[in-house]
Every structure is written in C-alpha cells, then in structure tokens.
C-alpha cells in the first residue's frame, strides 16, 4: 500500500534526509519526498497493519535524525 502525506520542512537538503530516514524505518518499503510540493509518499511493507504507528515512528526518526521541527501530517 502506498500513501501520500503532507510535510513541513525548511530546506531541500533536510527533505532528502527525511527521505533516507523514512526509508530506513521498519515497516516502510520505500519513501519518496518532494520538497517543492512538500509531500512524502510512503510505500508500506505488505505485512503492515497499523500505518499510523509506522508513521509515528517515521516522524520520530525524522525529528531525531533531521531536525526536531520537521512535521508529517498523518492524523
């Protein structure tokens, strides 16, 4: 399953870091971030049932690895 999420990030470098960080999160098969549109597409692993839990982990990882004020709107 693939879903799109709006994001808030200040620079294209940080957007690229978000893409890499999100892609390393368990439950994420692939992550793509577009800085110009401020959108993130997440393709979840087939066995993922709770997409919100995975996205909370993605957000926590991005805030830790990229910047503590990045935002992903998923709820």
Write down all domains in the chain, each with its CATH number in brackets: 2-73 (3.30.70.100)
Task: Read off the DSSP letter of residue 66.
Answer: T
pTM of the model: 0.94
Tell me the sheet residues that pair with 33: 40
pLDDT in tens, the chain (75 residues): 999 999 999 999 999 999 999 999 999 999 999 999 999 999 999 999 999 999 999 999 999 999 999 999 987
Alpha helices in 1-75 (DSSP H): 12-23, 51-65
Q: How far is Cα 40 from Cα 73, in angstroms, rounded to an integer?
A: 10
Q: What share of the chain is helix, strand, coil (3-state, %, to 5)?
A: 35, 30, 35
Task: Read off the DSSP letter of residue 48.
Answer: -
């Amino acid at each position: 399953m693939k879903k799109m999420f709006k994001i808030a990030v200040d620079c294209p470098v940080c957007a690229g870091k978000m893409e890499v960080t999100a892609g390393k999160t368990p439950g994420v098969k692939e992550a793509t971030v577009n800085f110009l549109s401020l959108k993130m597409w997440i393709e979840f692993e087939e066995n993922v049932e709770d997409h919100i839990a995975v996205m909370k982990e993605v957000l926590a990882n991005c805030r830790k690895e990229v910047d503590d004020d990045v935002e992903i709107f998923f709820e």
